Structure 1
Amino acid sequence: MTSPSLTPDAIPDAGARTFASDNRSGIHPEVLAAIAAVNDGHQTAYGDDVVTARLREVFKRHFGERTESFPVFNGTGANVVGLQAMMDRWGAVVCADSAHIDTDEGGAPEKVAGMKLIAAPSPDGKLTPELIDRYATGFGEPQRAQPQVVSITQCTELGTVYTADEISVVAAAAHERGMLLHMDGARIANAAAALDVPMRAITTDAGVDVLSFGGTKNGLMLGEAVLALDPDAVRGVLYLRKSSMQLASKMRFVSAQLLALLEGDLWLRNARHANTMARALAAAVRDLPGVEIMRPVEANSVFAVLPKDVTERLRKRFPFYVWDAHTGEVRWVTSFDTTEGDVAAFAAALAEELAA
């Protein structure tokens, strides 16, 4: 699989709508209001504030009473801190070959944390017990990095969603081998919305040990969190977060965003809307001559193959990523603020370019 192509014509004019990534959307108004609401007076720095204390309780409500939470700035930071805390210096992580930690984090897990990533080819972006059995090898051999963690992504980079049963099976396979299970949950809310289950059902209850909880793709300005769902699975998170440059001094402004998302149902409203818009987008373009939808639309991503010249022209009007330059596959991502009008305008523009 080729990483998404990021070229100058993929950068829109200010304010233009884009289907490139849910990272490109703005801040949800309720999140923005939450930031302003805590901008009053002084609070103890580095997470010892009342806002972060409240957030810890809200995370427990969603993921279980044993949950320990550590807000960070971004998803790469959450993955690096969380994975480091789960393993020894000589450890290795088994992940899918499309995993964000392997393809799109600038080598941070390996460069910053010094861990070995073992990428298993997976056509749908999912790991299975069979893949773990094949790629988690060399236990006890000093010549080999020691497989200690399995990392899965929810939703996967290919837009697929693990069911609770699928995660439970992967967790059992990891635990049977003395390994731990990490989840990169950059789009955990979209997965829960797609499956119509609580987030706990596809994390804590399914055997996930540590979760990188994602907020930026679901309406936040910035802010993710390392969640130790099983506190016994980690060590030194407080120190690793600081040494990895992920400890915010004015933590209340990160925590306030996560609270806005999680205290009520904003996380679910945003995710459901993004997922609905992706299905609407696929339906709007599916029957256009020259368009082939390549994968089931399970969350908020649509993968399609278009003629190359159409892709080049359309990206200048509605920026999006070329997912695989060899096959012509592209990826369209919808967000909490994607509208029906955005979808209709994009479908109309695509039809025009196909007819040109």
Structure 2
Amino acid sequence: MADPATVATHPTETPVRRPGEAPVTAARRRHDPRARGFASDNYAGAHPEILAALALANGGHQTAYGGDEYTAHLQEVFRAHFGPAAEVFPVFNGTGANVVALQALTDRRGAVICADSAHINVDECGAPERVGGLKLLPVPAEHGKLTPALVGREAYGFDDEHRATPQVVSITQNTELGTVYTPEEIRAICETAHEHGMTVHLDGARIANAAAALDVPLRAFTTDAGVDVLSFGGTKNGMLFGEAVVVLNPGAVRAMKHLRKLSMQLASKMRFVSVQFEALLAGDLWLRGAAHANAMARRLAEGVRTVEGVEILHPVQANAVFARLPREAGERLRKRHRFYFWDEAAGDVRWMCAFDTTEEDVDAFVAALREEMGR
């Protein structure tokens, strides 16, 4: 038998924690927690209130696969925002939420009308089509926003066996280009879709930012506007992991729980997804984080407008700023503050703000931009 002293001091062993002592871990911090950039709100860490909720849900045993107390209570949390008919299905990530939602709204001959800039069209590696087994019908849309007239371009051929049948209109709120639909605009799209026998899916990866920008309740541009199903984003607004499919019109979907499982989106320890949503939505954390991110984007846009030679490309309505600048200046700036080129050939860039972006972060970035543009 090994000497206990040898075992206790072995470098691969984690010390035993005594009652009352702080938790210990063999992991080590491998990044600078002071570092922040403008590449994505997904780059931000988890909000401290979210981490506190995870600790609260830890310990003891709870039924797996959504049979836990936290997931049961989550139905009430979402219904407070979206109405008594709403039903929530937590999932792992945004692509999974979109694929599960669209599968539930289509059959094997079905097609989905969306903006050409939609995340489901350009950023999900073909998952809606390859995994979901549906056809996307993208439409060029100014500032990323569909209109009833644009929907009409693809809303035809419902009885044509040579064409995939349009069954869903998918919109993004706020859009991939940082713009926001008003409740009236969404209502008009929903009315057009429903008149053609189609349903409406809303990709709400940044839904909280849209609500904060519009200063309206979440249901104002979803349930009340006629949306049938939405993908609700959490990770871009402070959650550690997890998104959700929220069914607003139960009659529009089928086999949701089965589709979630076969799409590999059913979490075994679902309580740790659900408790994060409770922390986000039971109070005003969702709104505080989103409103702050939006305010930082407005501050960034105001600063950018003072820099000669930089053009803002889309209305700044949420937490994103899209701009055009000389590619060389952009490359130099990116070495100082990380962000993405949206269109490398044109020099178009995207700058995102998050719940933890500070005024000092923004001002330092604008100062660096001014320096690089002056070189």
* TM exceeding 0.5: yes
Are 2:276 and 1:248 aligned? no
Residue by residue, what CA displacement relative to the aligned partner does 1:178-229 show, whole Å, maximum 9, x if unpaired?
0000000000000000000000001000000000001010001111100010
Which blocks of at least 5 consecutive residues in structure 2 are unaligned? Answer: 1-30
Q: CA deviation at 1:89?
A: 1.0
Pair member with larger Rg: 2
Residue by residue, what CA displacement relative to the aligned partner does 1:66-91 show, whole Å, maximum 9, x if unpaired?
00110000000000000000111110
Equivalent in 198, 205, 208 of residue 186 of structure 1: 205
Partner Cα distance (1:235, 1:163) in 2: 29
Are 2:333 and 1:314 aligned? yes
Which residue number corresponds to residue 10 of structure 1? none
Are 2:151 and 1:132 aligned? yes
Which residue number corresponds to residue 219 of structure 1? 238
Higher relative contact order (CA 8 A, sep 6+): 1
Are 2:279 and 1:272 aligned? no
Structure 1 segment 125-164 matched on structure 2, within 5 A: 125-164=144-183
Partner Cα distance (1:129, 1:135) in 2: 11
Residue by residue, what CA displacement relative to the aligned partner does 1:289-326 show, whole Å, maximum 9, x if unpaired?
12111221100000111111110011111111111123
- The residue type paired with residue 332 of structure 1 is W
Residue 66 of structure 1 aligns to a residue in which SS? coil
Residue by residue, what CA displacement relative to the aligned partner does 1:257-299 show, whole Å, maximum 9, x if unpaired?
1111000000000000000000000111211112111221100
Partner Cα distance (1:316, 1:19) in 2: 12
- The residue type paired with residue 305 of structure 1 is R
Partner Cα distance (1:25, 1:340) in 2: 15
Partner Cα distance (1:25, 1:246) in 2: 23
Structure 1 segment 204-215 matched on structure 2, within 5 A: 204-215=223-234
Which residue number corresponds to residue 125 of structure 2? 106
Q: CA deviation at 1:14?
A: 4.7
- The residue type paired with residue 176 of structure 1 is E
Are 2:373 and 1:354 aligned? yes
Which residue number corresponds to residue 121 of structure 1? 140
Residue 204 of structure 1 aligns to a residue in which SS? coil
Large movers: runs of 4+ above 3 Å: none
Are 2:59 and 1:45 aligned? no
- The residue type paired with residue 149 of structure 1 is V
Q: CA-atom RMSD, angstroms?
A: 1.1
- The residue type paired with residue 252 of structure 1 is R
Residue 311 of structure 1 aligns to a residue in which SS? helix
Residue by residue, what CA displacement relative to the aligned partner does 1:82-138 show, whole Å, maximum 9, x if unpaired?
000011111000000000000000100001011000000112111111111111221
Work out the number of aligned pairs and report it: 345
Partner Cα distance (1:184, 1:230) in 2: 15
Equivalent in 23, 28, 39 of residue 47 of structure 2: 28
Partner Cα distance (2:305, 2:356) in 1: 22
Partner Cα distance (1:344, 1:131) in 2: 39
Partner Cα distance (1:249, 1:152) in 2: 30
TM-score (norm: length of structure 1)? 0.95
User: Quick check: 132-141 or 22-31, which moved more?
Assistant: 132-141
Which residue number corresponds to residue 165 of structure 1? 184
Partner Cα distance (2:105, 2:237) in 1: 26
- The residue type paired with residue 271 of structure 1 is A
Are 2:117 and 1:87 aligned? no
Residue by residue, what CA displacement relative to the aligned partner does 1:134-193 show, whole Å, maximum 9, x if unpaired?
112211111110000000000001111000000000000000000000000000000000
Residue 259 of structure 2 aligns to a residue in which SS? helix
Partner Cα distance (1:199, 1:190) in 2: 10
Are 2:235 and 1:203 aligned? no
Partner Cα distance (1:232, 1:315) in 2: 48
Residue by residue, what CA displacement relative to the aligned partner does 1:16-66 show, whole Å, maximum 9, x if unpaired?
211011011000000011001100200000001101111111001100000
Partner Cα distance (1:50, 1:285) in 2: 48
Which blocks of at least 5 consecutive residues in structure 1 are unaligned? Answer: 1-12
Which residue number corresponds to residue 255 of structure 2? 236
Percent identical pairs in the alignment equals 66
Which residue number corresponds to residue 177 of structure 1? 196
TM-score (norm: length of structure 2)? 0.91
Partner Cα distance (1:341, 1:280) in 2: 11
Partner Cα distance (2:94, 2:135) in 1: 19
